[in-house]
Amino acid sequence: MNLVLAENELILSLCKEKDLGISGSDEELVQKFREIYKDHLELLAKAVKGDSKALRQLRWVLGLKVIT
């Protein structure tokens, strides 16, 4: 699977799980998410590659429930 596509899917999933105050089409959501959370894109990339610690950290940054 293409990593960019997988990153976009993860972003959309996170946006649907919690209302992050971002609206628009899927493409607009992804773009806005990348702009707002640009300091955490490395965590996103690691999470897509299967790094569970990075996913937990990303969820914590977004204020989502984190299960340890």
Cα–Cα distance, 11 to 6 (Å, whole number):
9
The DSSP letter of residue 22 is -
Residue 8 lies in a domain: yes
| Total of domains in the chain | 1
The pLDDT of residue 54 is above 70: yes
- The answer, yes or no, to whether residue 2 has pLDDT greater than 80, is no
pLDDT digits (tens, 9 = 90+) for 7-49: 999 999 998 888 877 778 999 999 999 999 999 999 999 999 9
Question: Please, are residues 36 and 29 in contact by the beta-carbon 8 Å criterion?
Answer: no
Residue 25's domain comprises 3-61
Residue 66 maps to a domain = no
* pLDDT for res 1: 55
Q: Does residue 68 fall inside a structural domain?
A: no
Task: Report the pLDDT value the prediction gives residue 39, as an integer from 0 to 100.
Answer: 95
Task: Give this prediction's pTM.
Answer: 0.85
Instruction: Report the candidate in 58, 39, 36, 37 with the shortest Cα–Cα distance to residue 47.
Output: 58
**Domain presence at residue 19:** yes
